[in-house]
A and B are shown apart, each in its own frame.
Chain A
Amino acid sequence: MANFGMLVDLTRCVGCHGCTVACQARWDLLPQVQFTKVHRYEVGTFPRVKGGVVTTQCMHCDDPPCARVCPTGATRKRADGIVVVDEQKCIGCRYCQSACPYDARSFNPERNIVQKCYFCYDFVENGQKPACVDTCMAGARIFGDLEDKGSELSRAIAARKAVQIKGTSIFYVPPRNLDPSFLPPDLKESSAVRIWQDIVHPGGKTVMGLAAGAVVASLVINTVKKERNHGD
């Protein structure tokens, strides 16, 4: 079985936002809902200043906290590694947004659902690439099967000494001047998610009313996340 992943070569990225918009157009997203984002950073003082670009998106985590907290099973990780949301099953409770350590999920207020990068799984099933990969003028994105050592992705990861964000399906080639703190952090076991699971999801079944669960879980997760961030 394939295990899909993506490499973003930040030495090539020009920061044009082509990926952002190709994705939005392809999924017909609301303008404020962006599955893949482009961030810029500057370091140094004039005249010795360096700038760079980091893109972020759903990391398609190995053990995704969003899926673990989802009370309806709308979010799940497929056997091929792609984390998907069944938008019909999503009730818009937004726990997953709280649980996501990467701020990679967006709320769609018009449809009352949470959405995120789906690795264009429907394109992928037809042998096509995700829209962001296909459109990238800089050729900065490579998508493929991490299990297949001969895939373009696996070969590029090896040849370009890519950095894996541990616990996720995303790899970066960082630019020479990049302070690693600008990259998304490795996925850590979140105590917040654990607590939520213990309270709400023992054995994978919802034992609390969904609305009540939402409030409790969100409070717990946000509190723990805040503390963790302060700790950093």
Chain B
Amino acid sequence: MLEQRISRRTFLKGSLVAGALATFGGRLVPLGQAEAAEAAAPAASQVIPTICEMCGVKCGILAHVREGRVWRLTGNPKDPQSNGRLCARGNAGTKTLYDPDRLKQPMKRVGEGKFQPISWEQAFKEIGAKLQELKGRYGPQTLVWLAHPELIAPLEKHFMAAFGSPNYTGHGPTCYSSRNVAFEQMYGGVPGVDYRNVKYYIALGRNLTGGIKNPDIQKIVAAKAEGAHLVAVDPRLSDFAFFADEWLPIRPGTDLALVLGMINVIINENLYDAAFVTERTVGFEELKAGVATYTPEWAAKITGIDAATITRIARELAAAKPAAAIDPGWHAVTGSQYYNSVQTARAVAALNALLGNLGAKGGLAFPPGIKFGDPSGIMGPKPPAAAGPRWDGAGSEKWPLIKAHGIIQIFPERVKEDKPYPIKAVVIQHLNPVRSSTDSGAFIEALKQLELVVVIDIQMNDTAYYAHYVLPEATYLERYDPLMTAGNKVVLRQPAVEPLFDTRGAEEIITGLAKAAGLSEYFNFTLEQYNDALLAPLGLTQAQLARIGVAEVEARKPDYTKLKTPSGKIELACQAFVKAGSTLTPAWEPPLVEPGEDEFRFIQGHVPMHTHTTTDNNAYLHAIMPENELWIHPGRAGKLGIKTGDMVEVASKVGKVKVKARVTEGIHPEAVFLAHGFGCVVPLRKLAYNKGANDSALIPIITAPISGAAAQCETLVTVRKAG
């Protein structure tokens, strides 16, 4: 038996050296041996509590490490988000960590698609010198920082503040901007849905089981099992339409009319929570007058959903109040899909208010607040005042409500304009705007015009491919990060293994850039010191949190009687929108474009097994869904001679892609759908390269009023069978 143990362990070691661990689970029977192998391993086995990064939700996970290798990831049962469970992406994390196509060392561009490995010292030195040179020539505002804001965001912003540039810009306009603008102005913040206790739930394009948030899935499934009624409003049979009790295939871009019609019914039939409306809202009479003409019959003509159905769901929703909600949403119709998205989000906010559901069980809720310490004491002197207005005009007189969100999609136009000042340098962190913003071709052209493009990422994404310098970040299983909070819990991301390659945590990279750019005095602290400063009032340290992974701390419950709005109440009539150039109460605005007879409206969205453009090269997830397909209605497909599996060419005014067709009854005849996250053009990413089509290549640069969102589904395309 002893011999067997030794040989088993030796085998494992040998496999690791060869870089091809066959399978620990390869040993099946006889069981005696298998148990012996397990029993022999504990000294080398570890379970590290940390945080997933296969999407942005940041579920608490356990990394199971054996012989120095993460062999498995599971949900951390102590984490309130994962509750011990994970989605496909979370489970597939080892394939991202051990992806052979990962970035392995800093790289410098030496030609089209050609990169040369360089040392960190050289990278920092050259980038730092260039940043200082450009700052001297054009001022600090010439630097823009683009990011999908993650846990590291406070340190990215600190870098920009120290540099003197106001131009930190997130991905919001290609995701949730319109929702945020509406709820920030009307509610003083963006609430979520109490999915666990909701009894009647309507999603407008919010694909709850497609754009997966693990905690939301667990809760909505439990609510459904207890009888909650779920309604999916979507032009296509989305993942959530599969799961929901009913699917209402609305005409794309007209959800606003549906919600206005429902408000009309609820007010006219006195189905609203009158006490809540009186005590906790302002502007009800204005709202009532504003929706007077939006009858269900009016809405039916616009949406294609019959008036009886609109009336029925309005009544059913109201009957279930306050455990009833219409989802504020994320990226869909209340986020960044349509020109009227901010009006839709405002109507959604108003409808929820009529249900009196804010703070109620099964309604909308704000997260509790955790009182962290102030780390500014260790972060150097007070940063200089930022130079000039923001590059994108966010926060200016023209765009007063979106200072926090920016307008990332106009980057290519702004780079060309050089006004009011030139943009010459960009740092892009954890974001792939070439495939996640709009008009990929224009974005690539913009990158080519810049004097300095630096990308910080774990993989050579389509944007990094055009960078002058690519700085490889350690993956989430190899690094620390600033703290995460979930409810009344504080959670730490910490390494499960040492970095496999010459990669670094983002905080080290940012510090390296700062020191090379002459900003040393702002970055004389470690990430651990930063986290300790945050944790100080809670009586915790990073080292203590590292051992337990998740700590329960004191959290303040939100005060729903004093909202962060001018009136302290929900503003059904909202002057801020009037000042910004819009209507006092939610009002109908048609979508920007109407497809002609030979055209389709192009719609896009998420799938459950991939996250944005970050998982297409993950071997497990790639095997489940290697490419996307163009969903097209059988009637329209028949006229074009298109069958499932045919290659088709999809063309918009800014781009063309080729992709396989999927003829399905599950889509509105007016629209075609393409899942986001495919069509990688970087040959280095061998699995993802040239698989499926890139939706962003087709979407023109459009900016919706008030929210500055990208209005991605205001895209018209033609489809033809590819030769």
Contact = CB atoms under 8 A, between A and B. Distances in A.
Interface string A64-98: 00000000000000000000111110000000000
Contact of A16 (B27, B237, B609): B609
Interface residues of A, number: 47
A164 B27 CA distance: 31
A134 B666 contact: no
Question: Which of B71, B87, B89, B622 has most A Cβ within 10 Å?
Answer: B87
Contacts of B242: 15, 40, 51-53
A137 B622 contact: no
Interface string B108-131: 000000000000000000000000
A18 B87 contact: yes
B363 interface: no
Given A20-B88, A86-B30, 8 more contacts: A16-B609, A17-B608, A21-B88, A21-B89, A25-B92, A27-B23, A49-B666, A50-B247
Contact of B664 (A16, A42, A111): A42
Given A14-B243, A18-B86, A139-B218, A29 B608 contact: no
B521 interface: no
Interface string B230-252: 00000001010111000101000
A42 B35 CA distance: 45
A32 interface: yes
30 contacts: A16-B88, A16-B608, A17-B87, A17-B609, A20-B624, A21-B91, A21-B621, A21-B624, A25-B72, A26-B25, A28-B25, A31-B622, A40-B242, A47-B668, A52-B242, A53-B242, A84-B28, A86-B30, A87-B26, A87-B28, A88-B27, A88-B29, A111-B22, A122-B38, A134-B74, A134-B85, A135-B74, A138-B221, A139-B221, A139-B222
Nearest to B625: A17
Nearest to B28: A87
A15 B212 CA distance: 11
Interface in B626-644: 633-634
B368 to A, nearest CB: 23
A53 B35 CA distance: 36
Contacts of B665: 42, 44-46, 49
B608 A14 contact: yes
Interface in B675-696: none
A163 to B, nearest CB: 18
Contacts of A18: 85-88, 90-91
A25 B623 contact: no
A134 B82 CA distance: 12
A14 B209 contact: yes
Interface string A6-39: 0000011011111011101111110110100000
A79 to B, nearest CB: 12
Interface in B607-660: 608-609, 619-624, 633-634
B94 interface: yes
Contacts of A142: none
A108 to B, nearest CB: 9
Contact of B619 (A31, A46, A139): A31
A28 B90 CA distance: 15
B221 A14 contact: yes
Nearest to A37: B624
B209 A16 contact: yes
Nearest to B34: A122
B75 interface: yes
Of B85, B89, B94, most A-chain CB atoms within 10 Å? B85
Contacts of A118: 28
B666 A51 contact: yes
B623 A34 contact: yes
Interface residues of B, number: 63
Interface string B15-28: 00000011111111
A136 interface: yes
A47 B31 CA distance: 54
Contacts of B23: 27-29
Contacts of A25: 71-73, 91-92, 94, 620
Contacts of A32: 623
A14 B90 CA distance: 16
Contacts of B29: 84, 86, 88
A17 B608 CA distance: 8
Contacts of B609: 16-17
Interface string A121-161: 11001000000001111111000000000000000000000
Contacts of A11: 224-225
A85 B217 contact: no
Contacts of A15: 209, 239, 242-243, 608
B290 interface: no
Contact of A22 (B86, B243, B247): B86
B340 interface: no
Contacts of A136: 85
B667 interface: yes
Contacts of A111: 22, 26
A221 to B, nearest CB: 24
Contact of A138 (B38, B71, B218): B218
Contacts of B31: 121-122, 125
B181 to A, nearest CB: 30
A40 B667 CA distance: 15
Contact of B86 (A34, A42, A52, A137): A137
Contacts of A29: 23
B88 A87 contact: no
A184 B39 CA distance: 38
B634 to A, nearest CB: 8
A80 to B, nearest CB: 11
A139 B225 CA distance: 11
B487 interface: no
A118 B25 CA distance: 10
Contacts of A53: 242
B84 A134 contact: yes
